[in-house]
């Protein structure tokens, strides 16, 4: 029984340590976003390029990066009918000013997960896995439910509604 508890706690410690490393890497918010097509009404279909020394971490952090990008970066137009999209937040300091909201929002399993889904089946195409120096640049296609995300941020008082005027 003691051996089982020790093995379980060791494996939990390793996975918790890996998650902390992944979250630390994500805090730098190093990613790129490109539009890959038109999603259903109220969604963006985008490819997120995430960077990490571990390709698995880059893949798992893609959803978090996608939601962050829709809120704070936006993206340029591209193929298949894509048009440039501005970020939902117009204040470049909003993330720091509302840290009490965004830190739990972006923690592992946080509220950001309600607004994003992976469009691929978890597999990364070989052309979307690029070795750059000592890191990997991994491209993952995700769908972000931007209308629901906007409504949630408006309801929380984080961003102003479209009808609130200028």
Q: How much is the pLDDT for 119? A: 76
Q: How much is the pLDDT for 66? A: 95
Q: How much is the pLDDT for 9? A: 44
Neighbours of 18 (CB within 10 A): 14
Whole-model pTM: value is 0.80
- Sort residue 40 into left (φ over 0), alpha (ψ -120 to 50) or beta: beta
Query: What is the DSSP code (8-state) at residue 109?
Result: T
Q: How much is the pLDDT for 37? A: 83
Per-residue pLDDT of the chain (166 residues; tens, 9 = 90+): 434 333 444 445 556 666 665 556 555 789 999 998 877 888 999 999 999 999 888 888 999 999 999 999 999 877 677 888 999 999 989 999 999 999 999 999 999 999 999 876 667 777 888 888 999 999 999 999 999 999 999 999 999 876 655 4
DSSP strands (E only) in the chain: 31-38, 44-52, 116-118, 129-132, 135-144
User: What is the rounded distance in angstroms from the CA atom of residue 87 to the CA atom of residue 153?
Assistant: 12
């Amino acid at each position: 029984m003691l051996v089982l508890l020790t093995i379980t706690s060791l494996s939990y410690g390793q996975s918790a340590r890996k998650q902390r490393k992944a979250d630390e890497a994500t805090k730098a918010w190093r990613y790129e976003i490109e539009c890959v097509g038109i999603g259903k009404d109220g969604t963006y279909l985008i490819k997120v390029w995430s960077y990490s020394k571990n390709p698995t971490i880059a893949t798992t952090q893609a959803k978090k990066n996608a939601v962050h990008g829709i809120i704070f970066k936006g993206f340029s137009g591209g193929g298949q009918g894509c048009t440039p999209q501005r970020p939902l937040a117009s204040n470049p300091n909003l993330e720091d000013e509302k840290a009490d909201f965004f830190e739990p929002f972006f923690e592992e399993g946080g509220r950001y997960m309600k607004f994003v889904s992976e469009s691929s089946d978890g597999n990364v195409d070989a052309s979307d896995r690029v070795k750059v120096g000592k890191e990997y640049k991994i491209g993952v296609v995700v769908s972000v439910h931007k209308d629901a995300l906007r409504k949630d941020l408006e309801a929380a008082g984080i961003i102003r509604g479209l009808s609130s005027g200028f």
